[in-house]
């Protein structure tokens, strides 16, 4: 019987870090966004563009994909650091460290560290754009897009494979412990799990957000155990697991009267 405790543990840590960092930077992010919220129409357009981006990666030359993602990641590190510390000369260091690491000292540990950093940054920054209603509409549409791109078009697996070959930090790659295999989880899945947990914490309290993180980790543990023992799919839309874990977190929150 194969099982894994490492990935579920890392998922919990990443989600929890996103919750507490968002609470720490909440006022700064809200003032930056001027407390603007995206509409349902915006959510539909965002998911549509995400689906187009997944497809485009399959057909765009590898060098172009590499340049685009390295530029986007560098800008993300610079802007988030600048927003947090308000000093451009300090904000210049994280993207420089990222690029130097990528070209001269890139190994699995450094790779995974940057995957986690990017997932937390995107989650914390984007959380201020959503309301309780739109975040769940976004989750539903993103999951539908994920299912289509994994099972129908196959583009999600192809784009993930291409970006991993380019060593771009878009997929958490961890050895399973204690089974000793390897499994991957996309940044988008971590982003969605963190986003739903942050909004659960905002609506029902921090304990409810942490509980949602726990249930996401448990859902990931159960899913992994099924996958490792049956190998029923090479690629699977993990957003389904995230949705299940987040709904379980909400249900448990109500049962425990945490709201």
- One digit per residue, the tens of pLDDT, for the chain of length 259 reads 788 999 999 999 999 999 999 999 888 877 676 667 899 999 999 999 999 999 999 999 999 999 999 999 999 999 999 988 889 999 999 999 999 999 999 999 999 999 999 999 999 989 989 999 999 999 999 999 999 999 999 999 999 999 999 999 999 999 988 877 889 999 999 999 999 999 999 999 999 999 999 999 999 999 999 998 888 888 899 999 999 999 999 999 999 887 6
Q: What backbone torsions phi and psi does residue 183 show, to the nearest 5 degrees?
A: -140, 150
Query: What is the residue range of 124's domain?
Result: 6-255
Q: What is the pLDDT of residue 86?
A: 85
Which pLDDT value is given to residue 85? 86
Cα–Cα dist 218/226, whole Å: 13
Residue 240 to residue 147: CA distance in whole angstroms = 8
Task: Count CB atoms within 10 A of the CB of residue 207.
Answer: 14
- The contacts of residue 105 (CB under 8 Å, 6+ apart) are none
Q: Say if 63 falls within a structural domain.
A: yes
Q: Which residues contact 201 (CB under 8 A, 6 or more apart)?
A: 19, 23, 208, 209, 210, 212
Give pTM, 2 decimals: 0.94
Closest CA to 197 of 11, 43, 27, 51: 11
Domain count of the fold of the chain: 1
What's 174's DSSP letter? Answer: E
Number of other residues whose CB lies within 10 A of the CB of residue 53: 12
Domain assignment present for residue 121? The answer is yes
User: Does residue 245 form part of some domain?
Assistant: yes
What confidence score (pLDDT) does residue 191 get? 97
Q: How far, in Å, are 47, 76, 170, 204 from residue 116 at the CA level?
A: 22, 13, 9, 25
- Per-residue pLDDT of 23-52, as tens digits, reads 998 888 776 766 678 999 999 999 999 999
Residue 1, domain member (yes or no): no
CB 60 within 8 A of CB 54: no
Instruction: Work out the angle at residue 175's Cα, subtended by the Cα atoms of residues 173 and 178, and round it to the nearest 5 degrees.
Output: 155
**Domain annotation covers residue 89:** yes
């Amino acid at each position: 019987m194969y099982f894994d405790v490492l990935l579920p543990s890392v998922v919990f840590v990443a989600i929890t870090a996103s919750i507490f960092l968002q609470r720490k930077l909440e006022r700064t992010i809200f003032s930056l966004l001027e407390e603007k919220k995206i509409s349902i129409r915006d959510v539909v357009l965002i998911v549509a563009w995400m689906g187009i981006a997944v497809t485009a990666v399959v057909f765009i030359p590898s060098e172009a994909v590499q340049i685009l993602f390295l530029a986007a990641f560098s800008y993300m590190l610079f802007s988030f650091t600048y927003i947090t510390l308000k000093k451009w000369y300090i904000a210049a260091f994280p993207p420089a460290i990222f690029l130097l690491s990528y070209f001269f000292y890139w190994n699995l540990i450094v790779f995974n560290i940057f995957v986690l950093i990017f997932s937390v940054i995107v989650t914390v920054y984007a959380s201020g754009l959503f309301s309780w209603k739109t975040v769940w509409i976004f989750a539903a549409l993103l999951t539908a897009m994920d299912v289509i791109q994994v099972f129908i078009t196959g583009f999600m697996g192809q784009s993930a494979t291409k970006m991993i070959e380019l060593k771009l930090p878009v997929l958490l790659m961890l050895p399973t412990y204690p089974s000793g295999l390897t499994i991957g989880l996309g940044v988008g899945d971590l982003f969605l799990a963190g986003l739903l947990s942050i909004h659960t914490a905002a609506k029902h309290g921090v304990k409810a957000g942490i509980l949602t993180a726990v249930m996401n980790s448990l859902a990931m543990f159960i899913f992994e155990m099924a996958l490792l023992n049956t190998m029923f799919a090479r690629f699977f839309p993990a957003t389904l697991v995230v949705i299940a874990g987040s709904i379980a977190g909400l249900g448990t929150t109500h049962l425990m009267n945490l709201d």
